[in-house]
Structure 1
Amino acid sequence: MPDQEPGPAHPERRLTTKEAAELLGVKPETVYAYVSRGQLSSRRAEGGRGSTFDAQEVASLARRNRRESAGSSASGGGELSVRTRITLIEDDRYYFRGVDATELAARHSYEEIADWLWTGRLHPGVTFTAPESVIDLARRAVNALPEHTDPTDRLRVAAIAAATADPLRFDLSEEAVLGTARTLIPTLVGALPAAMYAPQDDGPIAHRLWTRLSVREADEASLSVLDTALGLLVDHDLAASTLAVRVAASARSHAYAAVSAGLGVLEGPLHGAASGLAHRLIKQVLEEDDAAPVIAGELRAGRRIPGLGHRLYRAEDPRARALFARLEELPHAEPALAAARDIVDITARHTPLHANVDLALAVFTVAGGMQATAGEAIFAVARTAGWIAHALEEYKERPLRMRPEGQYVGPRPPQPLPE
C-alpha cells in the first residue's frame, strides 16, 4: 500500500475489486467483508462480471482505517482507542463535554446533566416522564421475579419489557433515541418495588428513586444529596459497562438493548456492585465500633478492601470528594462518615490508597437506611444516561467497528479429529 494518504478521487469513478483492495491494503476477500458489514457499497460491473466500488467511498474508508490504526498504536499495547466528546478524565478531575463534572453536579439536577450529555445544551428544569401503560408493563414484569432479585436484574427486566412496548425502538435517529432515553429512565425507576411506603411516581428522578430504596421518609437535604450522587455518576468515560454499550450500539442494537448490555456488565463486583461490598464493610465497622479488626479480617481472608483506590486517579476520586462534602451536611450521616474515615486512615498506614466513589456511595446508603444493593441501583439509574450518550455517539460511527482482532494462541492446525 502506498505510504501517502489516499488522495481525493473523482466522484464518478468506479474501482474494480482488485483496485479497491490495493487502495485499502487488504485482500480482495476483505473488500467483500467490508460490504457485508455495511462499510462499503458495491455495484455489479457491466456485463455481470464482478463488482465495482465508488472510488471516493473507498478512499474515505482507507483514510478512516489509517486514522484508527494510528490511534490504536498511540494508545499503547494495541488497546482499543475510541474517540469521544462526552467525558474527559485528566489530572485527577473529570469533565462532561469540557465542563467540570463536580461543578455541574453541584449546580444542576441529574436530568439537566443527562440532557447536557445527550445534546450539548442545558435545559433548566427539564423533567423525564413515561406513559403509565409502559411503567405498568415493566412493573408487572419486575413483580414476577423472586423477592431476592437484585435491583440490577430488576432494571434489566424492566428495560426489556419497555422495549417490547415500543414498536419504534429500531429507529436509531437522534430524535427517536432521545425520546427513548427520556422515557426509559423514569420507566426503570417506576418499575422498582417500593421500599416501605407509597412510592412517588412523579417529580424529579431522585425523589422517585428514594421511595424505592429507603424505608425512611425523605428530607430535602437527603434528596438533594441523592440527586448530586446521580449527577456525579452519570458517566465516567469508557468504563467496562460503557464499552459493552458501545459494542451493542456499533452492531446497531436499539437503545433498550444497549442499556441492557451495560446493566449486564454493571453487576460485576469490580464495577457497579462494589458499593454494596463497601456498604457491608461500613456496617461491620459500626457494629464493631472499630475499623481495625474488620480490616484485619478482610485482609486475612485474602480480600481487597472495597471503596479504596482507582486506577484513573492518583489522589482521591473527585466524585468521592464531592459526595463526601455533601454528606457532611447530613447530621444522620456522621456515624457512617466516621466509619469511612477510620477505614481510610487504617489502610493508609500500609497502602497509599484514597477513597473512591463506592465508599462515599456506601456512606449514603448506610445513612439512608437502605439495603446494601441500593448503591448498585443508584449507579445503574445514573449511568443509564451516560450509556445513552455513548450509544448516540456510536450510532454516528461506521457500524461494527468495535471488533478487535483475536490473537490465537491455541494449537496450530491441522490437528487430528478428537476421539
Structure 2
Amino acid sequence: MSAEGDENYLTTAEVARRLQVKPATIYAYVSRGLLTSVRARGRRGSLFAADEVDRVAARSVEHSGVVERIESELTLLKDDELYYRAHSARTLATTATPAQVATLLWTPTSPDPQLTKVDESEVFGVVRGGVELARAGMGVVPEGARLTDQLRVAVAVLGAADPLRFDLSPASVTAAAGRLIGTLVTALPGETVYGEATLGARLWPKLSDDDPRPELLDAALILLADHGLAVSTVAARVAASARANLYAVISAGLGALDGQYHGAAPTLAYEFLERAKHDPLTALSDQLRSGKQVPGFGHRIYQHHDPRAEVLLGLLGDHPIIATVRAIAERTPTFPNSDLAIAAIMHAYNFRPDAGDALFALARMIGWTAHALEEYAAPPLRFRAMGIYTGQPT
C-alpha cells in the first residue's frame, strides 16, 4: 500500500513529535495494529495517515488523564500555603490536635476541627492484643534496624490478624486506621503514655528522653499528614483502587516512602545538620563541593517558603539550633523545608537518629487513609496505564 498524496500523511518524525514518543515506539504501535504505515511514493521511509494519528493521540490523552489528573477534596497547595479541606494547615498545627485533623481528613462532612473536641483515645485507640502482636513482629527485625523497618513489619502482622480487614466501608476503614496508628505508637520501644494524651504526647517518649514538648510533635504530625499526590500517596491510591485493604494500602505507602528520594529526606537533613552544628560554613562548603543538593533546603512545589518549616522552626523559639539553621540559610539561595525543620527538632531534643523517618511515616498514614477512602468511593482499577512494547519484534 502506498500514499497517493502527502498532504494527509505524516512522516515518522512528525508522528513521534505529535505523540511525544520515540520513533521506535511508532513501529511498536504498528506491530500492535494501532497505526498503519504506508510507503511514500518516490520517497524513502513510511507515512502515516494524519487522522489515524489524531485518533491515537486522543486515546493516549483520554487513557492517561485518569492517572495524571486525580481529583481530590483533601489537600490544596496554593501560593506557598497548605490547606486541608480548605483549612490552613499552618493554623491547624497550633490550634488543633492530630486526632481532630485526622477526623477532618477522614470525614468529608466533618465540622470545623478547631471547634470540635474529639476523644483522643477513641480516634487513636489500641487494638486489643495488638500491642503485644506488633511488638512481636518488630522483634523479628535484625538488631539496629530502623524504626520504619519495625513499623512495616508491624503493619503486615496487624493486618494479617484483623479478620475484618476487607470491610472497606468508611466507618470500618477509619476505625481500623485510628487503631493501627495508635497501636503502632504504643508498640514502639520506650515509655508508654496512657489516658487522654495527644498522639504527639504518646509518641514523644518513644523518640526522646528529654523533657517532653508534645506540642512540637502534634504540630509535626499535623503538618506532615498529607501533601497532595506525593509518590507514596499515589502508591497508596493505586493499591486502594485495586480494593486492597487498609493495611495493604499503608504497606504500599510505606514501600514508596522508603525510597531515598522521599522518606529518607529527614534523615539526610539530620545528618547534614549534625555536621553543620559544629561548623555551618564548612558543612555547607563541603556539601556544595559534592555537587549534591543541600539537604533540607528548597522544594519542588513551594517557590519562596515552606509553611510547614516556618511553623515548626518558629515553635523552637531561640533554641541554639536555630542559629545554625539561620547561618546556613543566609548563605543559600533557597529556604528551609520541613525536612530541615524536623531535623532541627531532633537535634534540639536529642531524638534518636531514625526518628524523623518514623515521624514522617506515622503522620502520612493519616493522609494515606484519607486518600484510600476517596479511592474506595471511585471506580476500581482506574490506574491501568497503557504500556508500550519497545522490545524485539515477534
Q: 2:347 is paired with a residue of what secondary structure?
A: helix
Match of 1:293 in 2: 282
Q: Which amino acid aligns with 2:155?
A: A
1:347 aligns with 2:332: yes
Q: Distance in 2 between matches of 1:229 and 1:401?
A: 33
1 CA distance for matches of 2:118 and 2:185? 19
Q: Which residue of 1 aligns with 2:358?
A: 377
Partner of 1:111: 99
Q: Does the 8 A contact of 2:63 with 2:385 survive in 1?
A: no
Tell me how far 1:224 sits from its aligned partner: 0.8
Shift of the alpha carbon at 1:69? 5.2
Determine the C-alpha separation between the residues in 2 that align with 1:67 and 1:94.
34
Q: Deviations over 1:216-273 (max 9, x none)?
A: 232xxx2111111111111000001000000000111000110011111112222121
1:317 is aligned to 306
Aligned to 1:125: 118
Q: Give the match for residue 246 of structure 1.
A: 237
> Which letter does structure 2 place at the counterpart of 1:312?
I
Q: How many angstroms does 1:382 deviate by?
A: 0.7
Higher relative contact order (CA 8 A, sep 6+): 2
The aligned counterpart of 1:213 is: 207
Deviating 4+ runs (over 4 angstroms): 66-73
Give the root-mean-square deviation of aligned CA atoms. 2.0
Aligned to 1:142: 138
Check the 8 A contact 2:141/2:149 in 1, yes or no: no
Match of 1:273 in 2: 264
Q: Secondary structure at the match of 2:373?
A: helix
Code of the residue aligned with 1:245 in structure 2: it is: A
Cα distance in 2 for partners of 1:83, 1:70 equals 15
The correspondence for 1:365, drawn from 310, 323, 346, is: 346
Q: Secondary structure at the match of 1:390?
A: helix
2:166 maps to 170
Cα distance in 2 between the residues matched to 1:159 and 1:399: 24
1:185 has 2:176 as partner: no
Question: Are 2:193 and 1:200 aligned?
Answer: yes
Q: Secondary structure at the match of 2:300?
A: coil
Name the amino acid aligned to 2:76: L
TM-score by length of 1: 0.75
Is 1:291–1:346's contact at 8 Å kept on the other side of the alignment?
Answer: no
| Letter of the structure 1 residue corresponding to residue 245 of structure 2 | H
Once the two structures are TM-superposed, the CA of residue 309 in structure 1 deviates from its matched residue by 0.9
Question: Is the partner of 1:129 in helix, strand or coil?
Answer: coil
Measure how far apart 1:316 and its partner are.
0.7
C-alpha deviation, 1:293, in angstroms? 1.1
Structure 2 CA distance for aligned equivalents of residues 176 and 112 of structure 1: 18
Find the aligned partners of 2:329 and 2:168 in 1 and give their Cα distance. 45
Query: Could you tell me how far 1:130 is from its partner in structure 2?
Result: 1.1
State the distance in 2 between where 1:396 and 1:117 align. 15
2:84 partner letter: F
1:230 aligned residue = 221
Alignment deviations for residues 296-324 of structure 1 (CA, whole Å, 9 cap, x no partner):
21222332211011111111111111111
Deviation, 1:126, is: 2.8
Identical-pair percentage: 42
Residue identity opposite 1:286 in structure 2: K
CA positional deviation for 1:371: 2.1
Alignment partners' CA distance in 2, 1:189 and 1:339 = 31
The equivalent residue for 1:305 is 294
**CA drift at 1:335:** 1.8
Structure 1 71/144 Cα, relative in aligned 2: closer, same or farther at 3 Å?
closer
Q: Secondary structure at the match of 2:389?
A: coil
CA distance in 2, matches of 1:183, 1:67: 43
Residue from 255, 265, 272 that aligns with 1:264: 255
Which residue pairs with 1:336 in the alignment? 321
Please tell me whether residue 100 in structure 1 is matched to residue 88 in structure 2.
yes
Report the Cα distance in structure 1 between the residues aligned to 2:127 and 2:353, rounded to whole angstroms. Answer: 30
For residues 361-414 of structure 1, what are the alpha-carbon distances to aligned partners after superposition, in whole Å with 9 as ceiling and x for unaligned?
110011110122111111111110000000000001111101222233333x12
Residue 80 (structure 1) aligns with: 68
Q: CA–CA distance in 2 between the matches of 1:266 and 1:101?
A: 22
In the alignment, which residue of structure 2 is the partner of 1:161?
157
The one-letter amino acid paired with 2:135 is R
Distance 1:87 1:383, change over 3 A: same
- Tell me, in whole angstroms, the C-alpha distance in 1 between the residues paired with 2:346 and 2:384: 38
Alpha carbons 2:64, 2:385 under 8 Å: kept? no
**Match in the other structure for 2:28:** none
Deviations 1:140-163 (A, max 9, x none): 110222221111111111111111
- Name the TM-score, length of structure 2 as normaliser: 0.79
Amino acid at match of 1:147: E
Contact 1:199 1:208 in 2 (8 A): yes
Q: d(CA) in 2 for partners of 1:372 and 1:343?
A: 21
Letter of the 1:124 partner, please give it. Answer: K
Do residues 406 (structure 1) and 387 (structure 2) align? yes
